[in-house]
Amino acid sequence: MRLSVIGCGYLGAVHAAAMASLGHEVVGVDTDSAKVERLARGEPPFFEPGLEALLKRSEQNGSLEFTTDIAAIADAEVHFICVGTPQLPDALGADLTALVGAVEAMVPVIAPGSVVVGKSTVPVGTARRVAERVAAAGATLVWNPEFLREGHAVHDTLQPDRIVYGVDTLAEAKAQGGAVGIVDGVYRTMLEGGAPRLVMSYESAELVKTAANSYLALRVSFINAISDLADASGADVLEVAAALRLDDRIGRLFLNPGLGFGGGCLPKDLHALAARAGELGVMDTAALLAAANQVNETRRPRVKALAARALGGVLAGRRIAVLGLSFKPLSDDVRNSQSALLADDLVAAGAVVTATDPAAVGLARVSHPGLRYADTVGEAVADAELIILATEWQEYRDLDPGELAGWTRARTLIDARCVIDSARWSTAGWTVLAPGRPASVPGGSAP
């Protein structure tokens, strides 16, 4: 099938490459010419495992192209809207400027009978307005939210755990040869592979996406709230989490305590859903979501307090190494990264922070200019008095305490993500501090 993808950021670039890999002819459109040029050369404009290989393979087959020219979408049967919907600069809601711009640019170009598929994350109530606009061009809208995770985007796009279609009416969903059938054709490989497909109203489909991200945020904040109780009572949050995970009703994932959630999605979607709940007058829901955000906002101050405790109460003038800047491992994304923001907080308190990251140093230099940067762990810790493991990249989790001790005079590590085997580290002579966990000191007892 001939497809277009409007907006080639994390979502669109991966979606375009993945659809081409399924055998479709895909044209990706973005207003950013530098991004388009990179994608056209087969270079991902961001760090995403597996994307480069997928881009190169599809471009060599001639089934994938990128352009800034919206007219190139004219002969596509299906148009995917993948533009960003960031948080508004001065409010909690989502900024729909790029979405409205994309729809207005498409409408004069697309053919009657084509299908427009909305994948961007939007406040509930948006799709119905978009549907009216695309109907003016004789096209039909299906709302098909995306659930891909950065760092696993290629896998999540090609092997989705569910495919959701939001439609105007159930009659439309059942119509033979209608929009739903056409989108089924695009996803045939995944559907034949067993991906569950759910057809529902526009409003439900929009809400599925923001509810999913908000629930993940609630879980992270819940375990972090329990972490505060562990600190107050002498419990160990990791022991609590390990037992909680064995309850099938609770489940294993998204119960890792530490610095809290960040990135380009969970924080803004939680805010946007809280704002929308407020607009709709559903105040208890707004309050629940606001509380999850409040717990998240207190993570960095807690780790900063641990750093002050480790340094005898004074941060000003002290040298701290921060390992990890991206909002999570396997990503170079520093948007709303709690790790990079923590480093800034320490600098604001007068500390001299040298930070490193396997992938994110380039982007962090631009958005966090107050930090010093190092290319390697050895360089970052060389003159440090304290080391903070801020983003749990595997290579930091695998650090050898004996080897690290040879590179630095520091003997205290703050494990801000609660991923270190603290007994092993304290046996090797380190003091390990982690939020929600008793301190682990050489010799075994807490200070």
Q: Which is nearer to ligand UGA, 46 or 261 (CB)?
A: 261
Residue 414 has φ and ψ, to the nearest 5°, of -95, 120
Active site residue 8: no
Q: In whole angstroms, give the CA distance from residue 426 to residue 433.
A: 10
Choose which of 207, 266, 343, 433 interacts with ligand UGA (CB under 6 A). Answer: 266
Q: Which is nearer to ligand UGA, 65 or 146 (CB)?
A: 146
Q: In whole angstroms, give the CA distance from residue 304 to residue 298.
A: 10
Residue pair 67/36 in contact (Cβ under 8 Å)? The answer is: yes
Q: In whole angstroms, give the CA distance from residue 18 to residue 109.
A: 24
Question: Which region, judged by CB under 6 A, interacts with ligand UGA, from 140-148, 189-197, 345-353, 405-413?
Answer: 140-148
CA distance to 51, 75, 189, per residue, from 32 (Å): 19, 22, 31
Q: How far is the CB of 441 from ligand UGA (least distance, A)?
A: 26
Helices (H) and strands (E) in the chain, counts: 20, 14
CA distance to 345, 355, 380, 383, 400, per residue, from 361 (Å): 17, 8, 12, 19, 23
Positions 293 through 332 that interact with ligand UGA (CB under 6 A): 327-328
Q: Catalytic: which of 8, 82, 265, 418?
A: 265
Q: Which residues contact 7 (CB under 8 A, 6 or more apart)?
A: 29, 30, 81, 82, 83, 84, 98, 102, 120
Choose which of 63, 85, 121, 426 interacts with ligand UGA (CB under 6 A). Answer: 121
Asked whether position 215 contacts ligand UGA by CB under 6 A, the answer is no
Q: What is the dihedral of CA 183, 141, 92, 301, to 10 degrees?
A: 0
Choose which of 31, 49, 203, 254 interacts with ligand UGA (CB under 6 A). Answer: 254
Asked whether position 149 contacts ligand UGA by CB under 6 A, the answer is yes
Q: Which is nearer to ligand UGA, 196 or 429 (CB)?
A: 196
Q: How far is the CB of 150 from ligand UGA (least distance, A)?
A: 3
Asked whether position 84 contacts ligand UGA by CB under 6 A, the answer is no
H/E run at residue 401: helix 401-405
Asked whether position 220 contacts ligand UGA by CB under 6 A, the answer is yes
Q: How far is the CB of 122 from ligand UGA (least distance, A)?
A: 11
Question: Which region, judged by CB under 6 A, interacts with ligand UGA, from 55-63, 263-271, 285-293, 423-431?
Answer: 263-271
Positions 6 through 65 that interact with ligand UGA (CB under 6 A): none
Asked whether position 260 contacts ligand UGA by CB under 6 A, the answer is yes
Choose which of 101, 125, 147, 419 interacts with ligand UGA (CB under 6 A). Answer: 147
Structural tokens at position 168? 């105007």
The string of DSSP codes covering 272-301 is HHHHHHHHTT-HHHHHHHHHHHHHHHTHHH
Structural tokens at position 46? 């961001």
Asked whether position 213 contacts ligand UGA by CB under 6 A, the answer is yes
User: Where along the sequence are the contacts to ligand UGA (CB under 6 A)?
Assistant: 121, 146-150, 213, 216, 220, 254-256, 258, 260-263, 265-266, 327-328
Residues carrying an active site annotation: 265
